[in-house]
Each structure stands twice: as C-alpha cells, then as structure tokens.
Amino acid sequence: MENALSHLFHASIITIILYVIMKFILNQTVSMSLNRSILIGALALIYMILFGHGMPTHLKKI
C-alpha cells in the first residue's frame, strides 16, 4: 500500500529533476525554473494523493 510519505518523496524527486532540466537544459532563470518546478511537483503530489501512482480510475480512500 502506498502511503503519503512515499508520494511526498516521489513528488520531491520530480521537482528536483524538473528544476535541473529547466535551469540547465532550457536555460531559464533561477526564479522561473524554481517556481515552475515547485508548481508541477505540487500538482504531482496532489494527483498521487488522490489517485495513487496509476491512472485515475477511482479516488483513493483516505
């Protein structure tokens, strides 16, 4: 069973990877890449809490 801590860990990894891609590959400014990667990471965390790691077939019971 997946728990919220593993979702938070995975969202943090996604955020860090996106920041590195935006900063060094896409050459965005620090503030722009930081804000965008945190926003996408937060959306990923919300998605994983609601649906888990799979496709959204039904809401998970909290």
Confidence of residue 23 (pLDDT cuts 50, 70, 90): very high
On whether residue 60 sits in a domain, the answer given is: no
On whether residue 59 sits in a domain, the answer given is: no
The whole-number average pLDDT for the span 27-32 is 96
Domain count, the chain: 1
On whether residue 32 sits in a domain, the answer given is: yes
On whether residue 61 sits in a domain, the answer given is: no
Model pTM?
0.83
On whether residue 23 sits in a domain, the answer given is: yes
List the structure tokens of 57: 């077939």
On whether residue 62 sits in a domain, the answer given is: no
- Please, what's the b/e burial string for 15-43 (b: 16 or more CB within 10 A of its CB; e: otherwise)? beebbeebbeeeebeeeebbebbeebbee
Contact (CB, 8 A) for 11 and 49: no
On whether residue 8 sits in a domain, the answer given is: yes
Confidence of residue 44 (pLDDT cuts 50, 70, 90): very high
Q: How far is CA 49 from the centre of its chain?
A: 11
Q: What range defines the domain where residue 43 resides? A: 4-51
